[in-house]
Amino acid sequence: MDDEERNPFTLPSDEEVFKMRDEEKRRKKEYRETQSKLKVWEKTTRGKLPTGAERLRQLIGEEAAAKPKTRKAKVKGEGSLAKQPDALERRGERECMADFLAKKKEMFYTQLSLDVKREEIQKLQDKATQKEEALRRSEQKLEEDAIRFDTFLKENDKRAHDAVKEAEAATKKKNDKVQEIKRLNQQLQAVSSEMSKQREALDDCLKYREFLDGLTPEVHFEENKKLKAERQEARRQRRIAKRVEAEETRRRDDYEHELAAAQAAAASPKRKGKKNKVAPESPKVKPPDPVDAADFEDEPLTSSDEECPMYFKQPRQLLDIFEELEEQNLFLIQNCQETERQVEELKQHFADTRTETDAKATSQRKQIRELNKAIDEEEAKKEKLELRMASAGTDSAQAELLRKLNDTTARVYEQCGFGDGGGQTLTMLADLEARLEQLLDHVETLPPDYVAKAEKYKEKKRRERNRIEAQKVADAEREERNRKSVERSMQAPKKRTGRMVMHRSRPPRKKVDVEVDEVNDDDKYLT
């Protein structure tokens, strides 16, 4: 074999493979475009297209012309395979071109897969190296962290042990304080319960005392007041006597002191070296004046805060008073019962009367509505008649109404300050209307506060007149009721036959103190 021959099993490069694929796509596209432009009878079948073997021969021939290099290829058991066209033709006779292309494609895919796997293996080896280095650094850091963590654990255990000791001590103190609080709460509850009982008993006693004071005669209080005043005066006199005695003692001591000083001064020599031939005279000291008790009359009266003794010493005294009052008030009780019966009858009569009055008022209101409706109808008729009368002339009744209207208008005309109202009615009404409009315009110019105050004053006067009239009516009604009441009281009482039902007073209730054992909730649940 010639050295210029190429080994057919040499894998083409990637550029050649992609170039062949692109060339094939381009050729197929051109063929389709050309076939689409041809007529039906001009189109050929797929068998006229160049086969893959022919395209391979063309490609090999082009590569051989471009690269005249040769190479020997040895095949095991058969020697080298020639790459010349004759050899390819002989080989094409022995082997199908499709199998050759399939093998070629399989070899290409295998080589491509091998290259990709090599690249991936290299990348994985690089990544494994990096991971090993990172793992080594991480292990070193973990060892350092483990050492620091062990140190932290030791310190934390020590702090936890100390904290447990402190917590145990604090818990013990807390339990002691809790027990002390429970004991004090129990004592406080017991004292509060006792205070509540004593307070209730005190309130009851004060109520009883107030009740008994209300039943005590005034003579007893007056006697106690006199005795208290006498005791206060006696204490005052004793204090005055003590003050007088103390003042006399003080004055006597002063007199004796002055007398002793005067005697000592008289006994001493006037000059040195001269003898006293004459006995010294007794000193002249004025004796103290007697103490007058009237000087201490400003001593105030003081109270000893003594309680006034109770009038009632035995329960029988109270029962005797109740029996006496009951005997004295039998007539009053009878009269009260009779009055209650009359009041009940009056209430029933009032209810019946009110019901009848409401019914009558309803019917009266209905009649009023009907009458108002009839009045409206009559007014309409009146207006029609007035129109007819105005057209037909006036009669005596019309003349009377006009005269009254003229008189009223003239009186209002004079009160408004227009002078004598002897003019025509229409003229006076026109003047009054003009004056009213003038006054209304003047009112609008006045301050609102002044107008409101004037309105309130007029309204107050009107209400005052209404109130006086209503008061007069109420006074008349009250006088009538009083007169009727006096007449009823002057009448002879009705005598009843048979036994009267008398109400006896209720006996006093005995209060029983029920002692409730108060148990603390904590002790109840703990025990």
Query: What confidence tens digit (pLDDT) does each residue in 267-316 have?
Result: 775 444 444 444 444 556 666 666 666 666 666 766 666 666 777 777 78
Across all residues in the chain, what is the average pLDDT? 76
129 assigned to some structural domain: no
Residues 6+ apart with CB under 8 A from 288: 248, 251, 252, 254, 255
37 shares its domain with 77: yes
pLDDT at 275: 46
Cα(389)–Cα(398) distance, integer angstroms: 9
299 shares its domain with 336: no
423 assigned to some structural domain: yes
31 shares its domain with 110: yes
Judged by phi (left if over 0) then psi (alpha if -120 to 50, else beta), residue 44 lies in beta
In this structure, what DSSP letter does residue 79 have? Answer: B
286 shares its domain with 226: yes
479 assigned to some structural domain: no
Note whether 285 and 264 are within 8 A (CB): no
Cα(102)–Cα(107) distance, integer angstroms: 8
Note whether 247 and 291 are within 8 A (CB): yes
Residues 6+ apart with CB under 8 A from 291: 244, 247, 248, 251
Query: What tokens does 463 get?
Result: 């209400």
411 assigned to some structural domain: yes
350 shares its domain with 288: no
372 shares its domain with 399: no
Query: What tokens does 499 get?
Result: 């036994």
Cα(285)–Cα(254) distance, integer angstroms: 11
Domain end, chosen from 68, 102, 119, is at 119
Domain end, chosen from 119, 146, 169, is at 119
237 assigned to some structural domain: yes
292: Cα within 13 Å, side-chain hemisphere: 4
154 assigned to some structural domain: no
Q: pLDDT truncated to tens, each residue of the chain (527 aa)?
A: 444 455 556 666 777 877 888 888 898 999 888 888 887 777 765 544 455 555 555 555 555 555 444 444 333 434 433 344 454 444 444 557 788 888 888 888 888 888 889 899 999 999 999 999 998 999 999 999 999 999 999 998 989 999 999 999 999 999 999 999 999 999 999 999 999 999 998 888 888 878 877 777 777 778 777 887 787 778 877 887 787 788 788 878 887 888 788 878 877 754 444 444 444 445 566 666 666 666 666 667 666 666 667 777 777 877 887 788 777 777 777 788 888 888 999 898 899 888 888 888 888 888 888 888 888 888 888 788 777 766 655 556 677 777 888 888 888 888 777 777 666 777 888 888 888 888 888 878 888 888 888 888 889 998 999 999 999 999 999 999 888 888 887 777 766 677 766 666 666 776 655 444 444 444 444 44
Domain that holds residue 82: 14-119
User: What's the number of domains the chain is made of?
Assistant: 4
294 shares its domain with 359: no
386 shares its domain with 398: no
Cα(413)–Cα(434) distance, integer angstroms: 12
112 shares its domain with 19: yes
pLDDT at 70: 42
27 shares its domain with 96: yes
Cα(22)–Cα(33) distance, integer angstroms: 16
299 shares its domain with 357: no
pTM score over 0.75: no
Integer CA distances (angstroms), 519 to 13, 65, 187, 190, in order: 105, 123, 11, 10
Burial 308-342 (b: 16+ CB within 10 A, else e): eeebeeeeeeeeeeeeeeeeeeeeeeeeeeeeeee
151 assigned to some structural domain: no
366 shares its domain with 398: no
pLDDT digits (tens, 9 = 90+) for 106-150: 888 888 888 889 899 999 999 999 999 998 999 999 999 999 999
274 assigned to some structural domain: no
